Amino acid sequence: MSKLNRRELLKGAGVLLAAGTLPVSMVEMAFADNSKNFTFAYISDSHIQQIKGNIFVRNWDRGLIRSVAETNLMDPKPDFVFYGGDIAQLGKKSEIDHGLEILSGLRQKVHYVMGEHDYYLDLGEHWKKRLGPDYYSFDHKGVHFVVLNSILTYDDWTYNRWADGVERMNVMAGLDDHRGSPFMVGEKQRAWLKKDLAGVDLNTPVIVFSHSPLQKIYRGWNFWTEDAEQIQALLKPFKKVNVFYGHVHQIQYNQIGNISFHSAMATAWPWPYPESNAKDASHLPKLTVQMNRADPFFERDATGWQYIDIHSGNAAMTFSLTDNSTRTVAFNPETNRPEDTRYQNNRIPPQDHY
Ligand SMILES: [Fe+2]
Ligand SMILES: [Fe+2]
């Protein structure tokens, strides 16, 4: 793929921008029949956090407010919006309600994915009351969309180990809290998914949304889904599969068999890479493509937006980072995996700050 400058990118994306970057993702589906093409936007990980009463952490509010405003400016207008999970920081009703109040400014229908920060205080009760089922599927212009709740865990951990929901939520909210438990989709949803996919033609593009990656990246930080292989096996017969996930607050990409994996950035803050954990050299599995990105210690470097162009089931994504160089990650047919078109082999990509 040729180098794409910012002007060409924006022209190609058809996005109207006054200035700056968008903390949302825009996805364009490309089909042989142009009338079938459509776009959708993706916003994730706002972590709305209550300090006291009606006072909330301002930075997290601002990230979400900005993404809503800029989504509404997109031209062409996205057909719908996906919200990738972690509306709240500690699962409180007040946090979910405050986040949804901001999101109510969107003009399009929003499809929601549940994050662990929305779940572990009351086991998703308030989230479901406001938003409905936590797993479902629908078809849109020839594409089959599936939403999974991937942040469940073992019953014993969920129901028997903690004094109350607050303690349970606080443990799960810690990135490296060793008392946490691995995420999973679970048997019930896997049975549902199998049934759901049974009615879908194998040539139909399938797009799956989850909160945690449906691949195993690093268990210590729950960049992980315990039953990832079983989900992948159910998706294997389909020719065109893309999985989009939030949770990791950073750029990640991978290819496992027929499935392309792409993370979305957060509107709140970036997480570091697992390999930057000083205790271990690397936790990346063999199949994961070595990745690079902006500096996580500059808060807005890894918050931004991405334009996703899907041709023949392969995604080419351009990440526009607020304070750093634009990155393009495109499918490389020679290596059969998505790769950063400029920085793939750089251990440390150039930083605009230095
Ligand atoms: Fe998150
Ligand atoms: Fe999360």
Ligand nearest to the CA of 87: 1
Q: What DSSP line would sit under 123-160, residue for residue?
A: TTHHHHHHH--SSEEEEETTEEEEE----B--HHHHHH
Ligand 1 centroid to residue 179 C-alpha, Å: 18
Ligand 2 centroid to residue 211 C-alpha, Å: 6
CA 275 to chain centre: 20
| pLDDT tens-digit readout, 300-320 | 666 766 556 655 555 666 666
Taking ligand 2, which is a single-atom ion, which protein residues have CB atoms under 5 Å away?
Answer: 86, 115-116, 247
Q: What DSSP line would sit under 71-140, residue for residue?
A: HHT-SSPPSEEEE-S--BSS--HHHHHHHHHHHTT-SS-EEE---HHHHTTTTTHHHHHHH--SSEEEEE
What number is the average pLDDT over the span 158-171? Answer: 97
Ligand 2 centroid to residue 274 C-alpha, Å: 15
With vertex at residue 40, the alpha carbon angle to CA 38 and CA 44, rounded to the nearest 5 degrees, is 165
pTM of the model: 0.84
| pLDDT tens-digit readout, 279-288 | 444 444 443 4
Measured between alpha carbons, how far is residue 335 from residues 43, 107, 287 in Å?
30, 40, 12
| pLDDT tens-digit readout, 97-132 | 999 999 999 999 999 999 999 999 999 999 999 999
Average pLDDT, the chain: 81
**Domains of the chain from N-terminus onward:** 22-340 (3.60.21.10)
Ligand nearest to the CA of 250: 1
Measured between alpha carbons, how far is residue 245 from residues 19, 54, 297, 312 in Å?
27, 30, 22, 20
Ligand 2 centroid to residue 16 C-alpha, Å: 30
Ligand nearest to the CA of 268: 1
According to the model, what pLDDT value does residue 11 have?
Answer: 37
Ligand 1 centroid to residue 86 C-alpha, Å: 5
